[in-house]
Structure 1
Amino acid sequence: MPGKKRNPDGADHSQLDLWSTKQDFQWEDFKVAREYIHSIGLPDYAGWEKFVREGNLKDSKIPENPDKVYQHLGWNGWYDWLGIEQPAHKEEKTLKELFSKNSEDGLWSDPGPSKWMNFHEARQIVREHGFEYEEEWRLFAEGKFPDREELPGNIPVNPDQVYRHVGWMGWKDWLIQPERQVEYTRLNKAREFVRSCRIPDKGSWRGFLKDSAGLIQEYQMVLPVRPHLEYKGSGWISWEDWLGTDINYHDYISTRKFVHSLKLRTQKDWGDYCQGRLTHKPRKTDSIFTYPELAFRDEGWMGWEDWLGTGKEMHSESAPPASTEIMIDCKCRGRIENCPECDGKGYYYVHLR
């Protein structure tokens, strides 16, 4: 028997040697081990089981579970291992039958060659379809894209299961070439920008991406066509939340008055304030646009000095425009979450009579 010998120190490397601390123990090379098993002439798996049970492998370097040990080292099924011919029309068994204790062959049944295409070849074909998200793939697999060329029958619709141990690295890798994968702007930053652009509804989203490509690039934003898929599981709530259409924003005049009370000096200060870095200032609420130059560009925007109150003209304010209410800075400055006056916003409104 190849490799059948005891170690010089007398240690018994039995089949239970998985717990051994020896670093030099190695199983016999797959081809050598298989050749030896062929020479024995075992008729079937039952013969193999009896051979193992009698302790014939105890002191050898041939494992009792070669299908596990040699899984990625040449293993090609039990027929190949035992050197016996596989029946030409072996009846396929269901998974339930294979795992049943009453099965004739049980777990030792040789499934034969895989019916699925090699992972790398399958992935290359899939990538040519141009999908980006798992949800698109599922719809395609269900036949919801009739104009698309169908996949070959030997590419599974559940690749995450079929290839989970033979190359699977996630849906992005499965669907998109590495050089074509896009790193989108993180959700919170992208959402603040989108809200400030005041897009009216979900149906206007794609038109906005097309018509505002220059603006998006100017602000160094990378926005997905399908944000509900891109940000799924990382903060996405709804289209209304994404666009800000369910938020009651303050108008330009009243918001500017509040901003003046913050006594910010630069546009950078404003950015820090919006990101919550100025902890000594009242917190920014969702009802205040992060990019006022976009939100109010057609509603009175006159530049950052006007917005922050740092321009010379701010020292001699002209009469405020008529309004039915004014915004008052609360004494708590937004530091009391449930303040009875401002509810933690840092300001409140008073209606003029």
Structure 2
Amino acid sequence: MNINKKTQTNDEGPEDSNVHGFTSESVVVSNRVPERSTKVASYLDCSVYARACGIETMRQWFDYHRVKEGGKPRPPGIPGDPSHQYREVWKGWPQFLGTNNVASAHLSDTAMSLTDAKAWFIKNEIQTVKQFRVLCTEGLRPPTIPACPEKFYNVKYSELLAPKSGRYLGFHEARNFVHSFEFNDYLEFRAYKRNNPEMFEKIPSSPDRVYMKSSPPEWTSWPDFLGYNRITRTRLEE
């Protein structure tokens, strides 16, 4: 991506003209913008652009481009959300912006364990990815929680997010309800739930995933949830 440099009235350039191998010759320092193009800027060009604009945090990135609130319009080719556009190579806002608030090399030593991270999401009632991103934007994410937890822990977001309150019955109430149907295995349970959606509205289709998220986890096994003995296949006594 080519970035034009406006004619300056003096020969002085920015104090730091070299950003990770890129010089100010390729970026805009004030209001200079990339040439109009239908192509999306590369990760490196976008990173250089952000640093040249003096953007130091994720929140500043989004505020900088809020035109209705006095911000500047994004130049052609510059994505609205770099973390999404460059998700295949993304390693966090600090690295993208060159701030390195938490050095990537030391993140594994300072970050919470996966179990503690799940407990943090539940404690703070973070039920959607959007809620987490808003919290990050407001600067409320602790440094021990990675900005991209799903990548750091190599899990799906659904494994981190808190269960939506009020959506399902509590574990013990759900288990007692399911026991009354005397299902013989989870396939029978899921088939019955699929054919009776209103009756099972408060019972999750994947109770093993939902109730493993509780703190501490309440899920033990399908036989326990459905109410039968794994070996004898007989019903459990209540």
Shorter-normalised TM range: 0.3 to 0.5
Structure with bigger gyration radius? 1
TM-score by length of 1: 0.29
Higher relative contact order (CA 8 A, sep 6+): 2
